[in-house]
Every structure is written in C-alpha cells, then in structure tokens.
Amino acid sequence: MTEVQKKELIEIAVKMTAVSYVPYSHFHVGAALLAKNGTIFTGCNIENAAYSPSNCAERTAIFKAISENVHSFEAIAIVGGLENEKGEVEIKDFCTPCGVCRQVLSEFCDKNFRIILFDGKSTIKEFLLEELLPESFGASKLS
Ligand code: THU
C-alpha cells in the first residue's frame, strides 16, 4: 500500500465518524476496510439503549463486506474521538480496535493484513493483526 492510499483510507474513516450513532458514549468511530479487489467497505459504531447490542465500526465494515460475499482484505483504517459541545468529532488520539473486533478480523484476515491508525494530527501507526492479537484462537484449533 502506498502512503497516498493509506491517507485516502484514513480520510474515508474520518468521514464515517460523522454518521456514528453514539447517543450513549458520544465516542465516534469510523472505519474503512480495503478489500483485495479494491472495494472499500465503510463502517461506523452503532450503539443501543440496551448497550450490549452495540456494534463497533470495524465490525460494521467487515459484516457489510461479508454480506456482499467479499472475503479477502488488505487493510483497515480506524479513527475515533469524542464529540465536543458543538457535536463535532475531535480525533485526539489513536483508536485501537477492541478485543472483539480483533477476533472478528482474525476470522477473515491473513497475516499481511494491516491495521492503520491515525492520531488526528499527523501520525499514522500501522500494525499487523498478529501484533495486536498474538496466539489467537482460530479455525485451525477446531480441526
Ligand atoms: N468502539 C468501536 O467502534 N471500535 C473499537 O474498536 C473501540 C470501541 C466503539 C464502541 C462504542 O460505541 C464506543 O466506541 C465507546 O466504546
């Protein structure tokens, strides 16, 4: 992936924070998932009054892709931040994916899959899934 492609993916993730449904946490997360076929699937977090049915941005993006029969992915950009009193999203730090999302990504993403994070200023961090979820439980354990 080129730096330009990474920045494009981050920009799409940032735009997605505008449509997060977060009346409880007010923490907006946006994701942009790049499939190997070049399609970008977007996601935002979607909360619920009962809390546990809430869905993270990363899982929204990956479930959208799987539901379109796309199963091969190259990278995901994730950003997040609280809204201010004007309702604007302020990205001030890296938004690392939660454990559940790491597990869901591990179901579908190979060893080269990249997780791209942005601090809202100028720094981009990049991880392999193996770095964020070492010794993961996967399909091979069931055979
Ligand atoms: N959230 C995500 O969307 N992705 C993550 O990986 C971390 C957390 C959401 C869930 C909830 O809507 C809000 O951020 C606060 O936890």
Tell me which of 3, 47, 58, 135 is the catalytic residue.
Answer: 58
- At residue 133, the pLDDT reads 97
Closest residue CA from atom 2 of ligand 1: 56
Question: pLDDT tens across 46-101, in order?
Answer: 999 999 999 999 999 999 999 999 999 999 999 999 999 999 999 999 999 999 99
Would you give the distance in Å from CA 64 to the centre of its chain?
Answer: 12
For ligand 1, the distance from its centroid to the CA atom of residue 97, given in whole angstroms, is 8
* pLDDT tier for residue 108 given thresholds of 50, 70 and 90: very high
Question: pLDDT tens across 9-21, in order?
Answer: 999 999 999 999 9
- At residue 29, the pLDDT reads 98
| 8 Å CB contact between 41 and 59 | no
Mean pLDDT along residues 30-50: 98
Query: What CATH code is carried by the domain that includes residue 101?
Result: 3.40.140.10
- At residue 82, the pLDDT reads 98
**Verdict on whether the full-model pTM lies above 0.85:** yes
- Domain range for 19: 3-142
Question: pLDDT tens across 112-127, in order?
Answer: 999 999 999 999 999 9
- At residue 20, the pLDDT reads 98
Tell me the HSE value of 126 on the side-chain side, using a 13 A CA sphere: 13
Convert 109-118 to b/e letters by CB count within 10 Å (16 or more is b): beeebbbbbb
Q: Position 7: which residue type?
A: K
* pLDDT tier for residue 139 given thresholds of 50, 70 and 90: very high
Number of domains in the chain: 1
| Nearest atom within ligand 1 for CA of residue 57 | 3
Q: Is the CB of 47 under 6 A from ligand 1?
A: yes
Q: Is 8 a catalytic residue?
A: no
